[in-house]
Chains A and B, each alone.
Chain A
Amino acid sequence: MELLTGLVCIGAGALGLAILYAILYNSLIGKKNQVEYAFSGIDVQLKKRHDLIPNLVATVKQHMEHERGLLERITELRSRALNPNLPENERMQAEAALSGALRNLMIAVENYPQLRANENFMHLQASLNEIEEQIAAARRTYNAAVTDYNNAIEMFPTNLIASTMGLKRRAVFEAEEAERATPSVSQLFKT
């Protein structure tokens, strides 16, 4: 009789542990997928920016003779970012450089009053502003998802399961060095 009770207890304990394991395991998978989903959110916005760039470059080209170098750099960075064979981190670097170059373009525009009177350009500029804001929002969403995920894989008890699943800490997006520094127009001509 006692043996039976003991067996039942062990069985119940094992079942409880198994359920707990399943819950924690699923929550970790959920968090991991959340990170990937958030990452694809950034990609959607970056894609929108890629679509906008040819139009933008074509519009400003006629007016900005002196900014030819900058425009070429933007076009080149765009095609590099679009290259499917590029490793993930290099692609992100290209995107960051593209962000910086576009920002510098918008500053350079200040010197071309006829551009700022151009309806088409104003519309493109507003769209770009909008997309940049969306990119920033998507990155913050990604960072929040990564923080959540990192917390889960480092905190007890999920860390025990995470190590058996081979989950690794992920890095959050940080503002690029180039983004943080105030852009200087003169530097652009050296590239």
Chain B
Amino acid sequence: MNTSPEAVLRELEPMLRELEQDRTQKVSQFVRIALWSAVIGGVLSLGLMLYGVGAWAFAPLVIALIVIGVVYASKAEEWRKAFKWRVMTRLVKYINPNLEYHPERYITPQEYELSMLYHNSPTPDRYRGEDLIEGVVDKTDIRLSELHTEYKQVTYDSRGRRQEHWVTIFRGLFISADFHKHFQGVTLVLPDTEQSWLGGFGQWLQSLSAKIGSQPGELVKMEDPEFEKLFKVFSTDQIEARYILTPSLIRRIVEFRNKTNAPIRLSFIASRVFVAIPTRHDHFEPPSLFAPANRLLEPDTIAQYFEEIRFALAVVDELNLNTRIWTKR
């Protein structure tokens, strides 16, 4: 399938033009409502001010501002939905016809928990997600979505007042894929924080953390120094961990880590691999409602969305999950 942005653009152009029209319509609707609210609110406020009701004179203006805010939010949401259902679903199909895109679904909390990637963080009190992509790429079944998990932290200030904060546990892309080898145990590949600045003592602390049970199994030391600097590995089985993490997979993980430039985590559980890539960027979102005209019709915009989808799916290629020369077929 030809997936050059230009070719896709040619094919999707009628639909994109329609969507673009839809967008300008939404903008003009919003501008009309905003103007009327502002004028009515302003006139009423002015009238009340002349009447002399004090601070209450500003009430109509405040109400007008709230109306404008609500209308904007609903228009922006409509636009987001239209974009995701009409554009993203197709773009995902262009990348790989076996993939399905569901804008409102996400990786389930059960799967998040099963992955054990954040098993040392508190259980999330708020669990949100969107943009699920799932399907079978070659022979690897893959599921990925954006996730944002948080827990509530309650603190008391010096005067004993209760304060609540939401603390992010993970925000970014979460991927769950079939791994090409069978295994029974649990192997975690976590970012190394201790060893990088405490050296041998940090490594000793890590092996202690496995001994006191805060990590599953025991610390596994790998022979690749670059990998060891970036990650720490815990596994319930030393040999199985190395069976999964072959020298070539280790190299690939290091390269993937350097490419994403984020503290990625991997876990290998129940013959699946889970990958968490923390990112600040909100993926698969439309251009702003007020973006310059015809932004969607530019090849660069389409290319950028392709890039985002490919980035999310890169795990399969980069980690070579497609190799099926093993007993697992």
Contact = CB atoms under 8 A, between A and B. Distances in A.
A137 B327 contact: no
A129 B326 contact: yes
Interface in B237-254: 238-243, 246-247
Nearest to B324: A126
B272 interface: no
A134 B243 contact: yes
Contacts of B327: 126-127, 129-130
A140 interface: yes
A134 B239 contact: yes
A143 B239 CA distance: 11
A154 interface: no
A144 interface: yes
Contacts of A38: 238
A133 B238 contact: no
Instruction: Among B220, B221, B239, find the residue whose CB has the most chain A CB atoms closer than 10 A.
Output: B239
A136 to B, nearest CB: 7
B325 interface: yes
Contacts of A104: none
A141 B187 CA distance: 14
Given A136-B246, A144-B223, A126 B239 contact: no
Contacts of B239: 41, 134, 137-138, 141
Interface in A127-166: 127, 129-130, 133-134, 136-138, 140-141, 143-144, 147-148
Given A134-B239, A134-B243, A140 B325 contact: no
Q: Range of interface residues on chain B?
A: 10 to 19
A137 B242 contact: yes
Contacts of B181: 130, 133
A126 B326 contact: yes
Contacts of B326: 126, 129-130, 133
A41 B247 CA distance: 19
A33 to B, nearest CB: 13
Contacts of B220: 144
A137 B223 CA distance: 12
Nearest to A122: B329
Given A129-B326, A130-B327, A133-B326, A143 B223 contact: yes
A136 B246 CA distance: 8
B223 A129 contact: no
A140 B221 CA distance: 10
B244 to A, nearest CB: 8
A129 B328 CA distance: 11
Nearest to A45: B239
Contacts of B221: 144, 147-148
A39 to B, nearest CB: 12
B223 A140 contact: yes
Given A137-B239, A138-B239, A140-B242, A126 B325 contact: yes
A41 B238 CA distance: 10
Nearest to B182: A130
Contacts of A141: 238-239, 242
Nearest to A38: B238
B54 to A, nearest CB: 78
Instruction: Among A38, A136, A137, A138, find the residue whose CB has the most chain B CB atoms closer than 10 A.
Output: A137
B325 A129 contact: yes
B85 to A, nearest CB: 43
Given A143-B223, A144-B223, A148-B221, A137 B240 contact: yes
Nearest to A41: B239
Interface string A56-78: 00000000000000000000000
B139 to A, nearest CB: 14
13 contacts: A38-B238, A126-B325, A126-B329, A129-B327, A133-B326, A136-B242, A137-B239, A137-B240, A138-B242, A140-B223, A141-B238, A143-B223, A144-B222
Interface of A: 38, 41, 126-127, 129-130, 133-134, 136-138, 140-141, 143-144, 147-148
**Pairs A-B, 3 closest by C-beta atoms:** A137-B242, A137-B243, A140-B242
